Structure 1
Amino acid sequence: MQRAEPEKVLVIACGMIAREILAVKERNGLDHLDLTCLPAEFHYHPDRIPPALDAAIRKARGEGYRHIVVGYADCGTGGMLDRVCEKHGVERIAGPHCFAFYQGNAAFEAVADGDMLSFYMTDFLCRQFDAFFMKPLGLDRHPELIKDFFGNYEKVVYLAQTDDPALEKVAVDAARMLGLAYEKRFTGYGDLEPALVTAAAEHTRS
């Protein structure tokens, strides 16, 4: 009997989780999984995600991809992302946002109420702290604005995908600068990994 051969699967994802998707691909041997990303800055402009995703799916179909997975949770789109997914017959990663699926959606639901005043950071946000927070918010020039932007938070929660002391130092320093308590939770890739592995395994041919 001929062994089943995987078909190509395209993941259209948020640029904030690109490195993590590639890591999951490598350690699970998902050579048939391709990746394309929408701009990471859409994390702060969720209204831009659904139309950009719609265009990306159309483009991918034109390039011959039959199997597409959406590397987003709802991510603040208020269900609009699901409408695009339903329109094209594709599925997204379950959950309200990446902070939830990194922790595992069930684990996130258990702590969500207690985390209402938490400022989440991930490996990506530690790497890009200056580009995503300091410079756009003007905190590098006007530190007095820290209270205006972060005054309602109580703590920084670093959701760590890897055990990297340099990244944790960024999170610790950020908490200190913002005047917030600090907590680290090592999450690894959470629900992201099984979601991608399952999606990739579903598309085989004999």
Structure 2
Amino acid sequence: MSIYSKIRWVASILLVFFIVLITNLVDKDNFNKLRYSVTTIYEDRVVASDLLFELQILIQEKEVALAISDSSFFEGSNKKVNDDIQALIESYEQTKLTREEQEILKEMKEEIDHLLVLEEKHINSNYSNRIALFKSIDEIAHNLYDLSKVQLKEGRRQMFISNKAMSTIDLFTQIEIIVMIVMAILIQIIIFYNPKQKKREE
């Protein structure tokens, strides 16, 4: 085998190697995006939605107790409900929050603090002035609603990223297959084409 033939062999192999390497790097980047997006949907959206649902139940429990004038609730169960609310908020803060979520959550935490003050006044005033309590609970409910909408919006955004990554992976896989076929044909041409032999035949 001549030096020229060896160079052609090496060049062909290196070309195939670099094509495979580049496509693999692109695929790896897209797979990382896909994995991150799926993880984010679960950890920061599904889990967050569940926490919001639990918070909504606890807030509704307060509202029902207030509506039926259940004084025993405020004297007994309410403390545990407040502790549970605080624990859920702390868990929610551990998820990845968008700037919009941070602002809404800040408002809700302030309103919950305000609600606790109103509940103390409610108990001390022999369970009167329920209007302010209902208004505060309504504000918290609105905050929870807004936060749930953020979950939907962010979940939709992450799904878009996932679909885009999948489409890119599919595209590069098809390109890779086509390039490999073309390269296989070119290598065969390089290997079997012999210009000296062609001249001798002439």
TM-score range, shorter-chain basis? Answer: under 0.3
Give me the TM-score of the superposition, normalised by structure 1: 0.27
The structure whose residues are more often strand, as a share, is 1
The structure whose residues are more often helix, as a share, is 2
Bigger radius of gyration among the two? 2
Higher relative contact order (CA 8 A, sep 6+): 2
Give me the TM-score of the superposition, normalised by structure 2: 0.27
